[in-house]
Amino acid sequence: MELGTVAFEASAGELESWIAAQKQRSIAALEFAISATHLIRRRDEFGQTIVPSPGSVLASVSIGNWQPEPDYFYHWLRDSAIIMRTVAELMQDAESAAERLRWQTHFENFVSFSLTLIRLNGADLDPSYRQNTRPEFRKFLRRERDLRAMSGERLLGEPRFNPDGTLDVMRWSRPQYDGPALRALACLSFLAAGGAQSDALSQLLGIDLDFTSRHAGRRCIGPWEEKAAHHYYVALTQLGALFHGRPWTHDAVQSKKAEMTLRTVLDRHWSEKHQILVAALPAAEGATDDLLDASALLAVLDAGLPNGPHSVEDRRVQKTQTAIEDLFFRALPINRTRFAGRAPALGRYRDDKYFGGGAWYPTTLAAAAIYYRRACFPGQAGQDCVDLIKRGDGFMATVRDLTPADGALSEQVDQNTGQQTSARHLTWSHAAFIGACRLRGRALAA
């Protein structure tokens, strides 16, 4: 069968009703994770008691200790930026002045909190953190000399912080260079939504764009935080930030040079042999399936280029999406049984082992969102637009069948049973759903 072309078989009204209700549930869940000063996280084995600060964003409000659920009670730069971009869009779409002010306040608090993170200094770290950690857990701590060196430029390559505004003392994959680019894109979305260009926001935006220019195309840890390479996702989100941020850059010459570097780097990810965009370079030898990664869809969506190479109109992007859909239709048992004849639930990559390597909400929703964005594209023919919306709705229907009645969205679902696994209440999943809904509304209006 040709993947992505099967429309949801239930009535359109039934799907429409569920999407509207789930959107409200996801908005509530997303807001619950922002400035979550009502929550307390105790990591007794590390002697930590953490109360989130105003402006922080929790990757998950769930308390996990890796037994069996992961501990995502952190302010991740990547996740928080994607979530706050959604906040800016909710502010733009607000139906009342009070609702608009509420979202605006959330964003302004996020800006203030982000600036406090940038001003941290590892030299000021209380040395008792090591003594307060139980001996058997000290192996999970970072080297003290690395923590002491955390200041200035190094802080911008940090993947995450404690939501109380303190340094993360745990071992993790570092450095990561997409966080500042994504945060810049969130700030630009806020300005595009009519948000005030305050001194604080201008400062944060300038810092993030300058950092992105200096680190354009560099090798680093990728979006799945597993290995260092030249990642398509990182380079494309960096390009998106510099492209959209041109009016706010401090050094136009450096920024333009960085854009040119990134475009060259990104084109190298195209494999003429396999007819796909390869997620990481250097690429390993192998079949096409071994080189595919759904982070390519996230990259195109998050960068938001309006047209041209590496936008939704790029035929290379479209071929890659088709290959990804075909891969997971074959690779995940749930797509051959429960979702046979329907748009497939998408994972990350073929040999993913993280918590069973199931289907992910953010990647499946990214596929829907890209179809909706393509349907909105200027000059799209009427019937083509309808067909693209139907393709997007096929993925939304799959997500519907993976979502419990209370609207909870985890990180992923088991590839055999469809039961939610990994991090519960993943805020990114809710942001992805809201974003896909918004693009769907625009597509329907078109």
Domains of the chain: 1-32+323-446 (no CATH), 39-268 (1.50.10.10)
What residues form DSSP beta bridges with 43? 48
Distance of CA 184 to CAs 81, 190, 274, 299, Å? Answer: 8, 10, 33, 15
Q: How far apart are CA 112 and CA 152, in angstroms?
A: 17
Cβ atoms of 409 and 374 within 8 Å: the answer is no
Nearest to 393 by CA among 427, 346, 437, 432: 437
User: According to the model, what pLDDT value does residue 11 have?
Assistant: 59
Distance of CA 137 to CAs 49, 147, 160, Å? Answer: 16, 17, 20
User: According to the model, what pLDDT value does residue 306 have?
Assistant: 96
Kindly list the strands in the beta sheet with 359-360, ordered across the sheet, starting from the edge strand earlier in the chain. 359-360, 412-413, 420-421
Residue 446 is which amino acid?
A
Q: How far apart are CA 362 and CA 302, in angstroms?
A: 12
Q: How far apart are CA 416 and CA 247, in angstroms?
A: 49
Q: What is the CA radius of gyration of the chain?
A: 21
Report pTM. Answer: 0.96
List, in order, residues 6 or more apart from 212 with CB less than 8 Å away.
177, 180, 181, 184, 238, 241, 242, 258
Using 70 as the pLDDT threshold, list the residues of the chain that sit under it.
Answer: 1-11, 381
